[in-house]
């Protein structure tokens, strides 16, 4: 019996990696355009960070975390999301005093013990951004603009952005009371989780996906109608900026998001292509988070999205082809001992000029090597035998057209000919 993978934790295979690279490259490119700097934080943090930051009453902390004691009995947790860790890093490195305005982005695995299904994994991967240090509604608009730009660069359509404001902590407290009053008469007809949520945090009822709860949720009062004047002004200014920048949104008065750190602006970008797991990314403001972690009052806003869901849409939209990944520049087919010696040496030299080269390592016959070259989807194939080794010239076959041309086998001359055209918009060769 071979050892199976852990349920909900997938291998990402070489055949699929092209989609991931495409999504990651787009994320880095948009981060460059908006001037966000990359941060990489540990996968493991003290459990308390998420308990305090994300909130004890959330599904994430209540039932989805991978928590364990280390050898000294300290409770550690595999990060279920990035925002709390990055807020922790903000304080760890003293940015609150030295450089309080920070625009950061991140990519990486997150862990939640959820029921695995299409687009929902136990180890999944997020791309996200976080901005610390400004309350200005222009930052909310920039963060949403970043999300739309990323989708545009990836050519994704059929998306819509739900927007709401849940106000400051006082507004939320008041809104909780309003929801408590709204749900109390009908709670007997709602699911068991909602009964618990009514006492713990009635806001969480609005995230419930159970069909029996939906009619009561649809009738619930919206949070944006119960904001203090400062939060109402902030929300109006965010909408004005989105309008001015031509960024589309739909107001959803019952959007509250499933994490407790949110304040004011919340949003989700949805896709019709994802079925039940239709949230491609979600985010909002968390003006109280840094303070909850014992830092000074520091506003923040950001979003995170799921790579698995993004890749699902990319794969559905474009037919799977090797061209999405990095294409091999050259496959060297060798004949005889001398050809093999020459070919392997040439391959090594070409690589030092930045050309990607592969070669058969199992002493296969010519026909087998040719079909291997085909399968690698190389742009060029070169056959090197005794003659080529002697004369230092050979025939280079362009695989897409079948054309053959005479080439000089000096590595520097050949490398120039093999160099792929630069796709400058992505900052790399394609
Ligand atoms: P979240 O809504 O919990 O927010 O997750 C953000 C995105 O991660 C979701 O919209 C979804 O695309 C993806 N995601 C979540 N769970 C899974 C899963 N089990 N499998 C696959 N994909 C998943 C946050 O995590 C916040 N930290 C976002 C944020 C950043 N807010 C402000 N800054």
Which of the listed residues 41, 81, 116 should we mutate to test ligand 1's pocket, taking the one with most ligand atoms within 8 A of CB? 81
Confidence (pLDDT) at 379: 95
Antiparallel, parallel or unpaired: β 102-111 and 37-38 = parallel
Give me the pLDDT at residue 324, please: 55
> pTM higher than 0.85, yes or no?
yes
- Contact between 265 and 236 under an 8 Å Cβ cutoff? The reply is no
Residue to probe by mutation, ligand 1, list 64, 304, 309, most atoms within 8 Å of CB: 304
Q: Is 344 exposed, middle or buried (0-12, 13-18, 19+ CB in 10 A)?
A: middle
Ligand 1 center to residue 81 CA distance, Å? Answer: 7
Q: Find the 267 Cα to ligand 1 centroid distance in Å.
A: 12
Ligand 1 centre distance from Cα of residue 381 (Å): 44
Read off φ and ψ for residue 160, nearest 5 degrees. Answer: -140, 150
Ligand 1: distance of its center to the CA of 423 in Å? 31
Third-level CATH fold of 330-429: Rossmann fold (3.40.50)
Ordered mean pLDDT values, 10 residues apiece, the chain (430 residues): 96 92 96 98 98 91 96 98 98 97 98 95 98 98 98 93 96 94 96 92 89 94 96 98 98 93 97 83 98 97 97 80 69 96 97 96 94 92 96 96 96 93 49
Residue 425, pLDDT score: 45
Cα of 192 to ligand 1 centre, how many Å? Answer: 24
> Quick check: 384 and 366 in contact, CB under 8 A?
no
**Alpha-carbon torsion (110, 99, 131, 313), positive or negative:** negative
**C-beta separation of 81 from 60 below 8 A:** yes
Contact 76, 68 (CB under 8 A): yes
Ligand 1 atom with the shortest distance to the CA of 285: 32
DSSP 420: P
Q: What is the pLDDT of residue 325?
A: 61
The protein residue with its alpha carbon nearest to ligand 1, atom 15, reads: 306
User: From ligand 1's centre to the CA of 143, what distance in Å?
Assistant: 15
Q: What is the CATH number of domain 14-168+228-317?
A: 3.30.930.10
Ligand 1 midpoint to CA 91 (Å): 23
Which residues fall within 8 angstroms of residue 214, CB to CB, at 6 or more apart?
Answer: none
133 φ, ψ (degrees, to nearest 5): 100, 10
175: part of which helix (H) or strand (E)?
helix 169-183
Q: Which residue's CA lies nearest to atom 26 of ligand 1?
A: 304
Q: How far apart are CA 152 and CA 150, in angstroms?
A: 5
Model pLDDT, residue 427: 43
Q: Which residues line ligand 1 (CB under 6 A)?
A: 81-83, 112, 114, 119-121, 124, 126, 128, 130, 258-259, 279-284, 286, 302-306, 308-309
| Atom number of ligand 1 nearest to Cα 269 | 10
Instruction: Considering the chain, tell me which residue range(s) the CATH 3.30.930.10 domain(s) occupy.
Output: 14-168+228-317
């Amino acid at each position: 019996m071979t050892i199976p993978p852990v349920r909900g934790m997938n291998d990402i295979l070489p055949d699929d990696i092209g989609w991931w690279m495409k999504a990651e490259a787009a994320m880095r490119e948009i981060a460059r355009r908006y001037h966000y700097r990359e941060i990489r934080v540990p996968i493991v943090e003290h459990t308390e960070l998420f308990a305090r930051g994300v909130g004890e009453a959330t599904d994430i902390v209540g039932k989805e975390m991978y928590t364990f004691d280390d050898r000294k009995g300290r409770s550690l947790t595999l990060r279920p999301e990035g925002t709390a860790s990055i807020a922790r890093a903000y304080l760890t490195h003293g940015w609150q005093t030295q450089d309080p305005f920070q625009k950061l982005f991140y990519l990486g695995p997150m862990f939640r013990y959820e029921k695995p299904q299409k687009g929902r994994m136990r180890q999944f991967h997020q791309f996200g951004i976080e901005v610390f240090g400004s309350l200005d509604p222009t930052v909310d608009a920039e963060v949403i603009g970043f999300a739309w730009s990323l989708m545009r660069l990836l050519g994704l359509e059929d998306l819509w952005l739900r927007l709401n404001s849940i106000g400051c902590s006082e507004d939320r407290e008041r809104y909780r009371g309003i929801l408590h009053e709204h749900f109390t008469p009908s709670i007997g007809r709602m699911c068991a989780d909602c009964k618990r949520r009514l006492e713990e945090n009635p806001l969480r009822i609005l995230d419930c996906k159970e069909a029996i709860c939906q009619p009561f949720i649809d009738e619930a009062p919206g949070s944006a109608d119960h904001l203090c004047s400062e939060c109402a002004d902030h929300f109006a200014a965010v909408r004005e900026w989105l309008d001015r920048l031509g960024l589309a949104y739909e107001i959803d008065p019952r959007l509250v998001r499933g994490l407790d750190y949110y304040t004011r602006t919340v949003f989700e970008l949805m896709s019709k292509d994802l079925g039940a797991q239709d949230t491609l990314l979600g985010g909002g403001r968390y003006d109280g988070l840094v303070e909850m972690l014992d830092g000074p009052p520091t506003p923040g806003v950001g979003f995170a999205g799921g790579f698995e869901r993004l890749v699902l849409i990319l794969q559905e939209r474009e037919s799977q082809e090797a061209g999405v990944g990095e294409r091999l520049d050259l496959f060297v087919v060798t004949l005889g001992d001398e050809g093999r010696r020459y070919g392997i040496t040439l391959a090594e030299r070409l690589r030092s000029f930045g050309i990607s080269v592969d070669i058969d390592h199992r002493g296969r016959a010519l026909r087998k090597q040719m079909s291997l070259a085909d399968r690698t989807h190389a742009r060029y194939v070169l056959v090197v035998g005794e003659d080529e080794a002697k004369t230092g010239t050979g025939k280079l076959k362009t695989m897409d057209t079948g054309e053959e041309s005479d080439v000089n086998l000096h590595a520097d001359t050949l490398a120039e000919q093999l160099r792929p055209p630069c796709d400058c918009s992505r900052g790399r060769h394609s």
